[in-house]
Every structure is written in structure tokens, then in C-alpha cells.
């Protein structure tokens, strides 16, 4: 079944798609093929694809029938797989196929070992690793830090824990909701603080800014593609929203 967005808001710097009410608890984003993004709900293991140009939305797959329920807080993709992760660190792996549509699939499930370390919120794939963001650290030693986990897709194990003292980047609080990165920088989004920060891998703060509350009441997902900054918001009962900025969303 193909779903159509309910409307589109455009100004000089941003285009914003309003999604159907059934995709309300919008959580993570990942880059899809042919100028699309993958997106998911945070209550069930279902993945959709949104055309950035037309706003058309289609269901790619659901994990099991009836669909598995859970607190899903991040999505990432590689050439061969799509991954979903829960807030407790359960990692779901689904084979990626080019012709997937309304598929009912099975998933391999891995325990990342993060349930006692932090509340997970945010996932990104880079160079045969997943990078997992922690919204809230549980261990006393990690209080007041940004905590990111490097997880190997070769061994399916944690290979590194990246920590940054919030005071070193002049932040009092930052509860990560989404992560995007490349080989030069790390970009983090916080729904609670409604803020985006850009860091070097060595921990240097490059820039930070607040998001407009009227446009982003609860920003939960983030990707950067071809110079565009794409942010997903929960819908509050009316369907989620996806904003596409042609450059950095500074206003």
C-alpha cells in the first residue's frame, strides 16, 4: 500500500513533509536509494521509505506478523542490511533487498550489551561499524559526558567507547536523540534540548545551534545528504514530519 503525505510546507530554506497519522511516533532516519530516506516508528519494527522530492511514503517491511513491538530508537543501513536498535540496545538486522515492498521479514537479533550502560537513542553506520548514541548514561563515571559506542559489524561486539566531557564543549546538558557522522565530523541532535552540535572526532566543538520550536516540537531523527540537512519530528497524534533544509538549519 502506498501512503501519501498530507501536505508540504516550504519557505526559502526548508521543505517540510507532513506524514500520515499512522506514522506518528517518528523516530530514526537513514539514507535510502534514489533520493529517499528510510524512517521508522518507535513503537513497532516497521520501516518506511519517503521520497524527498514527492513526499510519497511506502512501507518497506515489517518484522514478523504480527509486527514486533518495542521501543525502537534508531535505524542505519549498509550495502547489505538495514538495522534497527531499541533503547535497551537490542539490535535487529534485516537483509537489504532492492525490491522490498510491504514485506514481512525475519530479523537476526543481537544483544549489544548496552542495557546496563545507557539508554540508547541514535544509530549510524560507517566503515563496517555501527555508532550508537547514548541518550542517558547509567554509570556514575559517565555522568556529565557525551557517550558514543563504536560497535563492530565484523565481530558484533563493542570495540570502543567514545566519551566527551560536556564542560569541554560548554554544555550543561545534552541528551542525544540522533547521530550522523562521517570520517571528519560527528553531528548530534538532542530533542530534549532542541539543539544540534557538530564536533570533530577529537572532541572539538565546531558549531551548535537551537532549532525553532514551532517547526521542531520533538526532533528525533537526523541525516545529512548531498548538502541537505534532514530532520524528523514526532507528530503528537497528527503524523510525524520530515524537514529538508538546503544547508544548515540555522533559522
Is 249 part of a structural domain of the chain?
A: no
Least confident of 11-15, 111-115, 128-132, 173-177: 11-15
Is 251 part of a structural domain of the chain?
A: no
Q: What is the pLDDT of residues 81-131, one digit of tens each?
A: 999 999 999 999 999 987 889 999 999 999 999 999 999 999 999 999 999
Tell me the sheet residues that pair with 24.
none
- pLDDT range class, residue 240, cuts 50, 70, 90: very high
3-class DSSP string for the chain: CEEECCEEEECCCEEEEECCCCCCCEEEEEECCCCEEEEEECCECEEEEEECCCCEEEEEEEECCCCCECCEEEEEECCCEEEEEECCCEEEEEECCCCCCCEEECCEEEECCCCCCEEEEEEEEECCEEEEEEEEECCHHHCCEEEEEEEECCCCEEEEEEEEEHHHHCCCCCCCCEEEECCCEEEEEECCCCEEEEEECCCCEEEEEECCCCCCCCEEEEEEECCEEEEEECCCCCCCEEEEECCCCCC
Q: What is the pLDDT of residues 43-76, one digit of tens each?
A: 999 999 999 999 999 999 999 999 999 999 999 9
What is the tally of structural domains in the chain? 1
The pLDDT, as a whole number, for residue 4 is 45
Burial class (CB in 10 A: 0-12, 13-18, 19+), 81: middle
Is 39 part of a structural domain of the chain?
A: yes
Is 109 part of a structural domain of the chain?
A: yes
Is 25 part of a structural domain of the chain?
A: yes
| pLDDT for 231 beyond 80 | yes
Which residue from 93, 128, 3 is spatially nearest to 56, judged by alpha carbons? 3
Is 203 part of a structural domain of the chain?
A: yes
How large is the C-alpha radius of gyration of the chain? Answer: 17
Q: What is the mean pLDDT of residues 23-45?
A: 94
| pLDDT for 203 beyond 50 | yes
Q: What percent of the chain has pLDDT over 70?
A: 94
Burial class (CB in 10 A: 0-12, 13-18, 19+), 211: buried
Contacts for 120 with CB less than 8 Å, ≥ 6 apart: 73, 74, 85, 86, 87, 88, 89, 112, 114, 132, 133, 134, 135
- pLDDT range class, residue 227, cuts 50, 70, 90: confident
Residue 104, domain extent: 3-244
Q: What is the pLDDT of residues 150-165, one digit of tens each?
A: 999 999 999 999 999 9
Is 250 part of a structural domain of the chain?
A: no
| pLDDT for 241 beyond 80 | yes
Is 200 part of a structural domain of the chain?
A: yes
For residue 219, the domain's CATH number is 2.120.10.30
Amino acid at each position: 500500500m502506498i501512503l501519501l503525505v498530507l501536505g508540504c510546507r516550504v519557505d526559502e530554506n526548508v521543505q517540510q513533509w507532513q506524514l500520515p497519522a499512522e506514522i506518528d511516533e517518528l523516530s530514526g532516519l537513514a539514507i535510502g536509494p534514489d533520493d529517499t530516506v528510510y524512517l521508522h516508528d518507535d513503537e513497532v519494527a516497521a520501516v518506511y521509505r519517503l521520497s524527498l522530492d514527492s513526499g510519497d511514503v511506502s512501507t518497506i517491511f515489517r518484522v514478523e506478523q504480527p509486527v514486533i513491538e518495542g521501543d525502537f530508537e534508531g535505524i542505519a543501513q549498509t550495502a547489505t542490511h538495514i538495522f534497527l536498535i531499541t533503547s535497551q540496545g537490542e539490535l535487529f538486522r534485516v537483509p537489504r533487498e532492492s525490491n522490498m515492498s510491504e514485506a514481512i521479514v525475519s530479523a537476526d537479533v543481537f544483544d549489544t550489551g548496552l542495557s546496563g550502560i545507557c539508554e540508547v537513542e541514535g544509530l549510524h553506520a560507517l566503515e563496517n561499524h555501527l555508532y550508537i548514541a547514548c541518550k542517558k548514561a547509567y554509570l556514575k563515571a559517565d555522568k556529565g559526558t557525551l557517550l558514543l559506542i563504536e560497535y563492530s559489524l565484523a565481530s558484533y561486539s563493542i570495540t570502543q567507547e567514545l566519551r566527551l566531557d560536556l564542560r569541554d564543549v560548554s554544555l550543561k546538558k545534552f541528551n542525544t536523540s540522533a547521530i550522523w557522522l562521517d570520517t571528519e565530523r560527528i553531528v548530534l541532535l538532542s530533542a530534549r534540548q532542541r539543539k544540534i552540535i557538530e564536533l570533530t572526532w577529537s572532541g572539538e566543538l565546531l558549531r551548535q545551534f537551537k532549532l525553532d520550536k514551532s517547526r521542531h516540537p520533538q526532533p528525533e531523527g537526523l541525516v545529512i545528504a548531498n548538502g541537505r540537512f534532514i530532520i524528523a519530528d514526532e507528530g503528537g497524534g497528527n503524523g510525524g514530519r520530515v524537514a529538508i533544509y538546503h544547508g544548515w538549519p540555522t533559522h
